[in-house]
Amino acid sequence: MERGDVIELLDSLYSMISEAWGVPLGNDKCIIEREKALDIINEVKAALPSSLAEAKRLVAARDEFIGNAKKEAEALRKSSEERARALVEEQEVIRIARARSSEMISSAEAKSAELRRIAGDYVDDVMRQAEESLRNSLETIQSAHTAFRSANSSRPSPTVSSTATRRERSERTERSAEFGADESSFITLK
């Protein structure tokens, strides 16, 4: 039986218990079918030893693999060290190392220059986008400001007649409060 089967059995047992009828006056107690629950538990018990044995076998195989890998790595390291010592003693190795070093430096400088160019292009692009965004925002603010000025300059200034109208409204409100009526029940004569 596989691990998935054990999980399914445990899920089945969990469902049986969670869906069981509660015992009156016993909130944490329930009624389940004893035989069905025992069958599920026995199946789980039967499946666990094989699952545990499989897990132990996998752990042992992993440990063996790791041990072999360590031995191979140690042998490779020793072999590499011996080979390196032999090559260091020869002048050819030094010449090759200098040539490779020079190639690596040239390659690194070329990559560095390319990265600087790409970074410069990126920064230039980001700054251009920010500049456009700020320009658009400034234009929006300027047009809103112009519209605001236009709206304020076209509005008439308060005159005597509008002051008189305000005074009339105030008097009507006072009268309506005295008589318990609202302002709309009065007729204004001019």
So what's the pLDDT on residue 87?
67
Contact present, 30 and 17 (Cβ < 8 Å): yes
Q: What is the helix, strand, coil percentage profile of the chain, to 5? A: 85, 5, 10
Q: Where are the domains of the chain?
A: 1-89, 90-143
Looking at the DSSP assignment, which residues form a beta bridge with residue 21?
31
So what's the pLDDT on residue 8?
85
**What's the distance, Cα to Cα, between the start and end of the chain in Å?**
102
Place of tokens 């195989």: 61
Contact present, 186 and 171 (Cβ < 8 Å): no
What is the Cα–Cα distance from 35 to 9, expressed in whole angstroms? 14
So what's the pLDDT on residue 95?
80
So what's the pLDDT on residue 143?
92
Whole-model pTM over 0.75 = no
Amino acid at 149: R
So what's the pLDDT on residue 164?
55
The segments of the chain whose pLDDT lies below 50 read 1, 160, 183-186, 188-190
Helices (H) and strands (E) in the chain, counts: 4, 2
So what's the pLDDT on residue 16?
86
The most distant pair of C-alpha atoms in the chain lies apart, rounded to whole Å, by 121
So what's the pLDDT on residue 153?
80
So what's the pLDDT on residue 189?
46
